[in-house]
Amino acid sequence: MPTKNLFRKPFDEGTKTKLTLFEKYLLEWLPVFLSPNKIIWPEINIFDFFAGEGFDCIGTKGSPILILDNIKKYESLIRSKNLKVNVYFNEFTKTAYDTLVENLIPFEKEDYIKIHHYNEDFQLVFKRLYPQIKASNTANLIFLDQNGIKQINEDVFLKLITANTTDFLFFISSSLFTRFSEHEAFTKHVSINKNDLLNKNYYNIHRTIFNYYKSLIPFSKSYYLAPFSIKKNSNIYGLIFGTHHTLGIEKFLNQSWKLDKIRGEANFDIDNDNHTIGQVDLFSNKVLGPKKTEAFESDLRALIINKTLKSNYQVYEYGLTNGFLPKHTNVILKNLKTEKIIKNDYVSLNGDIHKIKDIDKQTLITI
């Protein structure tokens, strides 16, 4: 039974969207590392660095309880394979931490999982635990549900993308960037150019913040990021997901598209398209597509025609980095085949393409 704080409010719809996306990805992530016949990573770690109390005031589960409940589904598998599963919770606010510890008591007795909890500043506990994240024998999932904008600075972000076999999901108050872009308390944490925020569609602010973090990735490094924008009243928040592997980004995008069937990117009409799936233009009788989809199709067609993208894997990767799943890209490839821009012997993108490492050996999209 959760400990209730009568001064807290129930989770709003934006918070529920955030938690839903996190949980859905967690459910995709866990079996990848717990189910293989051959144990590759004997130690599985999940970090929730801004854990909160565990429940809202009416008993809705927060991220700590969602994590533990979903790990419990794999109890027999964890025991049979003798896997080491650690969960790390940190909550800086003392009253919230005390409530969290009380809410964790029912899980503390379990011996197939080790729970660690801290009441510390994020920067300090992250620095102390980072060697465990960076260890070569671990697989890690990191959830960073910060309240403001200052914690995921350039140094933390670069450490996250450097850690092997580590996926992360962080929440950020994107609309604060427009309000405090010139304030010293803001600029000392985030080096985004204020000009990048000017004359931008307010609804697109999280895309701008996403592009800032994307620009921090070294040019020589292959790494995948994806955004999801969340509107709460008049404020724009967002999630940014990161992974080293195409399978990770594909799984995250799969869940994003389930929440946003038009663009896979937001819980609101981020592009102000004002139309529903399958809506037909009254004048041309053409099925309307979202601006994002139309731009992607135009760009992808051009890159294939001018032979910038020469292989199925390159097309697959280009789709993922632009927020599209193989099923979306296959529609465009099918159209190119019908138009005889690519030949009949092209191979559709399928669920196993992420397993192939050597791009040079991929089936070419012959033009």
Quote the tokens at residue 362: 């991929």
Could you list the beta-strand ranges (E) of 92-215. 114-118, 138-145, 166-172
Q: Please indicate, yes or no, whether residues 85 and 131 belong to a single structural domain of this protein.
A: yes
Smallest CA-to-CA distance from 89 within 49, 132, 140 is with 49
Cα dihedral 117→122→128→131 (10° resolution): 100
Q: Is 86 a domain residue?
A: yes
Q: Is 78 a domain residue?
A: yes
Q: Please indicate, yes or no, whether residues 325 and 241 belong to a single structural domain of this protein.
A: no
Q: Please indicate, yes or no, whether residues 115 and 249 belong to a single structural domain of this protein.
A: yes
Examine the pLDDT at 285 and tell me if it is beyond 60: no
Give dist(CA 172, CA 176) in Å, integer. Answer: 9
Q: Please indicate, yes or no, whether residues 248 and 323 belong to a single structural domain of this protein.
A: no
Of 233-237, 255-259, 311-315, which has the strongest mean pLDDT?
A: 255-259
Mean pLDDT of 61-71: 97
Examine the pLDDT at 115 and tell me if it is beyond 70: yes
Q: Is 166 a domain residue?
A: yes
Higher pLDDT, 364 or 284: 364
pLDDT per position as a tens digit, 21-49: 999 999 999 999 988 788 889 999 999 99
Q: Are the C-beta atoms of residues 305 and 346 closer than 8 Å to each other? A: no
DSSP code string of 63-121:
HHHHHHHHHHTTHHHHHHHT-EEEEEEE--SHHHHHHHHHHHHHHHT-SSSEEEEE-S-
Q: Is 139 a domain residue?
A: yes
pLDDT at 342: 86
pLDDT at 195: 58
Q: Is 271 a domain residue?
A: no
DSSP, collapsed to helix, strand or coil, labels residue 160 as helix
Please report where in the chains the tokens 């985030």 appear, as a residue: 190
Q: Please indicate, yes or no, whether residues 137 and 21 belong to a single structural domain of this protein.
A: yes
Q: Is 298 a domain residue?
A: yes
pLDDT at 276: 60
Q: Please indicate, yes or no, whether residues 126 and 196 belong to a single structural domain of this protein.
A: yes
Q: Is 267 a domain residue?
A: no
DSSP, collapsed to helix, strand or coil, labels residue 247 as helix
pLDDT per position as a tens digit, 247-282: 999 999 999 999 999 999 999 888 887 666 555 444
CATH of the domain at 72: 3.40.50
- Residue 161 pairs in a beta bridge with none
Q: Are the C-beta atoms of residues 258 and 327 closer than 8 Å to each other? A: no
Q: Please indicate, yes or no, whether residues 316 and 253 belong to a single structural domain of this protein.
A: no
Higher pLDDT, 342 or 320: 320
Give dist(CA 206, CA 194) in Å, integer. Answer: 14
Query: pLDDT-derived band of residue 246, with 50, 70 and 90 as boundaries?
Result: very high
pLDDT per position as a tens digit, 4-22: 554 478 999 999 999 999 9
Q: Please indicate, yes or no, whether residues 253 and 302 belong to a single structural domain of this protein.
A: no
Quote the tokens at residue 100: 């969290």
Report the number of distinct structural domains present in the chain.
2
Mean model confidence pLDDT for the chain: 86
Q: Please indicate, yes or no, whether residues 37 and 140 belong to a single structural domain of this protein.
A: yes
pLDDT at 4: 53
Query: pLDDT-derived band of residue 362, with 50, 70 and 90 as boundaries?
Result: low
pLDDT at 6: 43
Give dist(CA 108, CA 192) in Å, integer. Answer: 42
- Where in the sequence is the domain holding 236, given as residue range(s)? 13-259
- Domain endpoint, select from 218, 242, 259: 259
pLDDT at 284: 47
Higher pLDDT, 141 or 269: 141
Q: Please indicate, yes or no, whether residues 313 and 166 belong to a single structural domain of this protein.
A: no
Mean pLDDT of 214-229: 94
Q: Is 39 a domain residue?
A: yes
Give dist(CA 218, CA 225) in Å, integer. Answer: 13
pLDDT per position as a tens digit, 147-186: 666 788 899 999 999 999 999 999 988 766 665 555 554 5
> Of the given ranges (75-79, 96-100, 294-298, 307-311), which has the lowest mean pLDDT?
307-311
Quote the tokens at residue 292: 């994002």
pLDDT at 189: 52
Q: Please indicate, yes or no, whether residues 174 and 310 belong to a single structural domain of this protein.
A: no
Q: Please indicate, yes or no, whether residues 64 and 134 belong to a single structural domain of this protein.
A: yes
